[in-house]
A and B are shown apart, each in its own frame.
Chain A
Amino acid sequence: SQTIHQWPATLVQPVGSPLSLECTVEGTSNPNLYWYRQAAGRGLQLLFYSVGIGQISSEVPQNLSASRPQDRQFILSSKKLLLSDSGFYLCAWSVQDRGLEKLFFGSGTQLSVL
């Protein structure tokens, strides 16, 4: 069966510090991968998605970047964090069934930038 791992679960970082969040998927090949952000009490904002190694699409211009160095690995990064980068970050993968997709989410990383 497929599983998705996301770490760390919580992270407290000072403003201006770098960020690296990692996500890996097991039990599937060539998944579509996603990074979402969720502010407290808010909805889900799509940040990046990837359909293959080295292929990254950005949905919202911002202080963050994403990379996909391996088929089942997706990394969210920042060189210098801002206060506004605080939030709950979710990695997800999707399976396509006749052209329609169903998302499976990781457990999330709660990032606090102070």
Chain B
Amino acid sequence: GESVGLHLPTLSVQEGDNSIINCAYSNSASDYFIWYKQESGKGPQFIIDIRSNMDKRQGQRVTVLLNKTVKHLSLQIAATQPGDSAVYFCAENMRAGGFKTIFGAGTRLFVKA
């Protein structure tokens, strides 16, 4: 549902550690899930996506896990670097939903050197 009025939760990790950012989605009919990264003062950028017929997808240093049973999505960042500091948004859309992507509340990731 709409979460635009909520303050962002934060996650603080040490440089070199792995980060796990979680997201609960609302619509069990969603077909497609995406993670976006937004650096300060910039627009969000696509990181990785996963279709609903998969439960895991790996990219470069990032892995997305999808658990449809509990409607949970997670983004894992390996060996977190200072450049990973940003706000991370999960998003969902579905074929029957028209042209509307629904964004989660976002999580602010701080990486400590």
Residues of A within 8 A of B (CB): 6, 32, 38-39, 41-46, 49, 51, 59, 90, 92, 94, 99-108, 110
Contact = CB atoms under 8 A, between A and B. Distances in A.
A101 B99 contact: yes
Nearest first, the 8 A-B pairs at minimum CB distance are A105-B43, A99-B95, A100-B32, A45-B4, A43-B4, A44-B103, A43-B3, A32-B99
Given A100-B93, A100-B95, A46 B46 contact: no
Interface stretch (B5-13, B57-65, B66-74): B5-13
The range of chain B's interface size is 20 to 34
A57 to B, nearest CB: 8
Given A43-B4, A43-B105, A107 B42 contact: yes
Interface in B43-61: 43-46, 49, 51
Contacts of A42: 4-8, 106
B52 to A, nearest CB: 10
Given A44-B89, A100-B51, 10 more contacts: A32-B99, A42-B4, A42-B106, A43-B4, A44-B106, A100-B93, A101-B93, A102-B34, A103-B91, A104-B46
19 contacts: A32-B99, A42-B8, A43-B6, A43-B104, A44-B106, A45-B4, A46-B100, A51-B99, A59-B100, A99-B31, A100-B94, A101-B93, A101-B101, A103-B91, A105-B36, A106-B43, A107-B42, A108-B43, A110-B41
Contacts of A94: 99, 101
B49 A43 contact: no
Nearest to B105: A43
Given A41-B8, A43-B89, A44-B103, A100 B43 contact: no
